[in-house]
Structure 1
């Protein structure tokens, strides 16, 4: 084992992000000198030997320190930083870590865009193209004017190409935005509601040609009867909606289709038993976390349903911020594996669902933590290879890392 201590340029240096690759990692950081903010990057090898350093941009700052958002591409080679002023994006730059060069830098003027209410997502492609997503009129009384607006920044002309996609007749309940670098398409997928914003009546799927934003398709998919019956325990024609769902993962298929994974979760706050009021008259509350069934829906490239499945799961915890609940999605070209704790307690069994592209599912017990002094935070696992992942275990004040190889 070894340790290494690295110092940045000055006491004003602040780390923006750390991007890791298989054979190196990069530290992106900022520094300040008088009225100037400087962004830099350092490249290190696995033994923390400095192999490259570069100054990215220099920005004049006023009395208030500028705020920035950081986004990286799917292949982790390109990153984007957008400057935020009064909740608006006013400038941005993109940098290629692999080629060690600044791709573009530009100032923006979004005079007629309501960032506070309409902004949804910023994406950067593996080639360095920036996309912004806005959603307008996502209200019951305005749903006939409901739209999703896409902006693509052209670095050559330094102008935006824009399209507006009508989504009349329904409200979006949850959304997930992703750029498909293989098929060069923008995917927007999520849950929609026709009436009650707390319930979801199905999913919606928007697919755009990245080179021609006017070439898009919009589709909605209702939940099938078997999925609804599994969710509620039995089929009831009066119950066609699902509730307490959040989109957690989206997997892009090579054929242009999409797999959506949503999780049922609930959070309840209650007055703790025997709780006393403090000096200020406040009471101590306890929070219960319920992370339950998983809903998986596969969509064909044309937006129609391929298959719909419910994966039963029951997890309950109290006052732990749900650190040990939920799941981890392990991906390889042949299978998807959904790993989760059967119960949230010290002595526990870890189980997994194994899925193939046709929707065939196998459940099995993976490992037991009995007498091992482990308490796994599975949702914080990191996949390091096609057959390997590392799971953190936090029990008491002790942190351990568990390596799992298939």
Structure 2
């Protein structure tokens, strides 16, 4: 796990793009992995004007992705977001390959395969051997350490994280992640490229979960713990958070994401932080996954679903909502969740892993939170947040609710 507080190394690594525009310098773009994320990234690159090469070793996967891209571009033309000529041109720029050896020289290769560190390491070693030394190698991992991936490459200064959000054709946010070895010219170049693609980049060191998946852990975890403890039913807890301005409640959101997917990311963060109690998976979510109750995609999770409709058992108890919100911090789902979000965000900034501005931008764009947690903490007052966490820590000892040093220093 990388815990560097330094800026990325300002090394050259022969990555001198001269006076070319960033689009010209990058040229061809390859995406490895033809799932929904990979095909979306390939569509983005092609729509921006690159020759985009989509590679998947599974027979027929890349061709199926090409059909998805054609359908997505067709929907975009129907909605007036792109002209039919521009959509046709973009589709013509997408090429499918079955072998890495068939790729031309690319300025950027983005890996979007399954979250398995050793598989990614082997892939990056192969890419480094096949592509030119000036090719930027990027991982779309949502939580794995970029430094660990880059350690398989003899010139790790060209390896970065480039974490898109689903669907990548719609979501504006991109997290650009650096390891200790990542070269500043690479980061600057890719930052310019993402802006040229119409994206909003934020920067973070390779801390577990990066910005969004690290800071968001309490949003899911507090609701699950309160549900486990019988504080209120799921619909009531979710309704409290929606009333506070969150687009979806945390329990319905994990059903939407997939309980298995959400648990996997949370477990990755927990493992990479040395099993810090702050990120410990809940027994509730572990049971759901073990029982195959994965959310909407399986027909049952926290809620039950039928025929593609919304949750069937989602009527909140408004009387209970009125009792909870504004009550004791231990049973107030809004105050408890916000206090933990603020604490987590401040801790990230305190460790030097991201700027306050990038944290707030990432959480409002990447998760649609009503406010950035840093700004929210200033609004509430650090003294209030600190006192709430001290009370929670006393009620639930073990370290999950320990205040960040950044909070302690201000009270």
- Shared topology, TM-score over 0.5? no
Output the TM-score relative to the length of structure 2.
0.24
Which of structures 1 and 2 has the bigger CA Rg? 1
Q: Compare relative contact order (CA 8 Å, sep 6+) and give the higher one, 1 or 2.
A: 2
Output the TM-score relative to the length of structure 1.
0.24
Structure with higher strand content: 1
